[in-house]
Structure 1
Amino acid sequence: MLDIVIEARGASIGPGMRVQRILPFRLKRMVGPFIFMDHAGPVNIEPQQASSMDVLPHPHIGLSTVSYLFGGQVTHRDSLGVQQVIRPGEVNWMTAGSGIAHSERFEDPATLAGGQLEMIQTWVALPEEDEEATPSFDNYKPEQLPIFTDTGVWMRLIAGDAFGLNNKVKTHSPLFYLHVVLEPGGRFGLPTGHTERGIYVAKGSIEVSGRTYTAGQMLVFTKGVDPVILAKEASTLMMLGGEPLGERFIWWNFVSSRKERIEQAKADWKAGRILLPPSDNEEFVPLPEDRSKPAGSPSPQALS
């Protein structure tokens, strides 16, 4: 059955960047290993304002960040020395592990005009044995990601396994992540075999069991339920889920199964022990003030 409907909430990840935050949610912290999800855009600003949207270098531990664009482009730089221009349809998978810093800059102002920039960012928690893994970054091109089509349906497998499809995107635990586009009247379902599964309506509206759900809502289903999804109009969906990993604590950009590891990450960033990107090290996001919020509570200033 339908477990819960999550309504996206407005949040800020920088002075010029507002997003819709889906995860974490107070009544549903994670869906499988997915512990964080933001939907940014479509963004439509004047080219001279582009720099105000830049996300300055900031740290992560204990997770993988996944960047996926519908439109526009963003430049990623990290402390491994990686510099990657992220474009629509690519999968950009950065595993923070023991600690990494990265920035996201919008260096092509033309892509911000006319509402071109739109992106989904998720964090995938790591299994305990991989929380201190060596940091890494991988970029996967659209041609490396299998596509399925049927009447009124287009689907790309971003990562994991679903509907008998898989790809080379390196993951650390069983999961699935899909980009689905439905034409009006198109019908689709959820992958089976995963304990937790969610549908985020990025655009349009869908009907499930006689009820209509609209853009900005995530539907989370219990295992064994096989809902029929009917597109009421042209709709874009992000489907995700997998196997739960157990309790995780999240504070700012840090995720861990241990509260004390969060505290260590705070101290490491404050002391400069997490290196900045070598080609983007003139400025960074300082450690936020800790207003005695428990380490298990999400910070409204979380960065992707």
Structure 2
Amino acid sequence: MIDLVIEARRALITPGMEVKRILPFRLKRMVGPFIFMDHAGPVDLNAMTTAQLDVLPHPHIGLSTVSYLLDGEVTHRDSLGVEQIIRPGEVNWMTAGRGIAHSERFEDPTLLAQGKLEMLQTWVALPERDEESAPTFDNYKPEDLPVYTDKGVWMRLIAGDAYGLRGDVKTHSPLFYLHAQLDKGTRFGLPSEHTERAIYVVTGQIEIAGRTYGAGQMLVFGAGNDPVLLAVEATTLMLLGGEPLGERFIWWNFVSSRKERIEQAKEDWKQGRILLPPNDNDVFIPLPDDRSRPAGNPAPQALS
């Protein structure tokens, strides 16, 4: 019934930021157009400094980054001159297209003193026709996002369409991305509109066909596979998927349908042809040493 179970792996993004990395996975590089997923936190901010947490300016091509917070606050700055604070329940959707750089910083000392940060980062690969599009950025408030409630179920549609919900978040290919909360004992099914679908368990436990799955696991389902899951306890899920786009290469923060485009992006970053954020350009993340990693194999990624 389940095509694949992916166990989140630990990845160190900054000295103070260890994340759970779910995608890409060696047996499943993508789910629909989703090619990358990290789960950061909960992080105890009381023990950290902002310098430990900050993700310095870094580049992207060929994808949209999607930032969604469950707790805390992050300041986004990018090459377009955008400066946007993202808060829980909001969606930051940045389409890199032919190239953009951005940073994510944790700058509110009052918020840091309160304790926690928890964030989901996904990358959505672009269709070939949009890979060289002009970069864009949009922030969507919680009131812009459809919410559905029923007995034992609360869910917010982050992007795309599912369960009869359709949002205004601009996407480039058929997909869905949902934040769901289930009470103990609730039964729940997957949306049937899309070819590839996955469930990521943020907290809690679910049961499918007599087997139990918990936090840090992603369950992947193919077309025509429509399980009913049971919330063993109060559970938070992220559901995502869509239609496949075809083969994509990923290296560091670059995604493309063409290996040679990855090589060009490396040189563009080294030569300064991808602009830094105008209001955050004193430091940046240099291109990693890739002598042992040919294009198409993943190198360590920055958190979106």
Instruction: Give the conservation status (yes or no) of the 8 Å contact 1:47–1:110.
Output: no
* Distance of aligned partners of 1:113 and 1:299 in 2 relative to their CA distance in 1, 3 Å threshold: farther
Instruction: Give the conservation status (yes or no) of the 8 Å contact 1:79–1:275.
Output: yes
> What is the aligned partner in structure 2 of residue 129 from structure 1?
129
Within 2, Cα distance between the matches of 1:109 and 1:209? 46
1:136, distance to aligned residue in structure 2 (A): 0.3
Within 2, Cα distance between the matches of 1:78 and 1:34? 22
Provide the secondary structure at the position in 1 that maps to 2:51. helix
Q: How does 1:72-87 map to 2 (within 5 A)?
A: 72-87=72-87
User: Which residue identity does 2:104 align to in structure 1?
Assistant: E
Q: Does 1:166 align with 2:180?
A: no
> What is the aligned partner in structure 2 of residue 233 from structure 1?
233
1:300, distance to aligned residue in structure 2 (A): 2.5
Within 2, Cα distance between the matches of 1:28 and 1:47? 35
1:188, distance to aligned residue in structure 2 (A): 1.1
RMSD of aligned alpha carbons:
1.1
- Summarize deviations over 1:116-139 as a string: whole Å, max 9, x none: 210000000000000001000000
The normalised TM-score by structure 2 is: 0.98
Within 2, Cα distance between the matches of 1:244 and 1:62? 15
Provide the secondary structure at the position in 2 that maps to 1:245. coil
Within 2, Cα distance between the matches of 1:303 and 1:25? 16
Instruction: Give the conservation status (yes or no) of the 8 Å contact 1:47–1:112.
Output: no
- Summarize deviations over 1:211-253 as a string: whole Å, max 9, x none: 0000000000010111111111111000000000000000000
> What is the aligned partner in structure 1 of residue 292 from structure 2?
292
Within 2, Cα distance between the matches of 1:297 and 1:112? 36
Structure 1 window deviating more from structure 2 (82-91 vs 283-292): it is 283-292
Provide the secondary structure at the position in 1 that maps to 2:264. helix
Instruction: Give the conservation status (yes or no) of the 8 Å contact 1:47–1:113.
Output: no
Unpaired segments ≥5 residues, structure 1: none
User: Which residue identity does 2:151 align to in structure 1?
Assistant: T
Instruction: Give the conservation status (yes or no) of the 8 Å contact 2:46–2:114.
Output: no
- Summarize deviations over 1:94-141 as a string: whole Å, max 9, x none: 000000000000001333445421000000000000000100000000
1:181, distance to aligned residue in structure 2 (A): 0.3
> What is the aligned partner in structure 2 of residue 95 from structure 1?
95
> What is the aligned partner in structure 2 of residue 203 from structure 1?
203
Within 2, Cα distance between the matches of 1:108 and 1:187? 40
Within 1, Cα distance between the matches of 2:48 and 2:5? 38
Instruction: Give the conservation status (yes or no) of the 8 Å contact 1:58–1:303.
Output: no
Structure 1 window deviating more from structure 2 (40-49 vs 165-174): it is 40-49
Within 1, Cα distance between the matches of 2:110 and 2:222? 43
Instruction: Give the conservation status (yes or no) of the 8 Å contact 2:55–2:302.
Output: no
Q: Does 1:32 align with 2:39?
A: no
1:15, distance to aligned residue in structure 2 (A): 2.2
> What is the aligned partner in structure 1 of residue 259 from structure 2?
259
Provide the secondary structure at the position in 1 that maps to 2:92. strand
Identity %: 77
Provide the secondary structure at the position in 2 that maps to 1:267. helix
Provide the secondary structure at the position in 2 that maps to 1:292. coil
Provide the secondary structure at the position in 2 that maps to 1:46. helix
> What is the aligned partner in structure 2 of residue 19 from structure 1?
19
Provide the secondary structure at the position in 2 that maps to 1:94. strand
The normalised TM-score by structure 1 is: 0.98
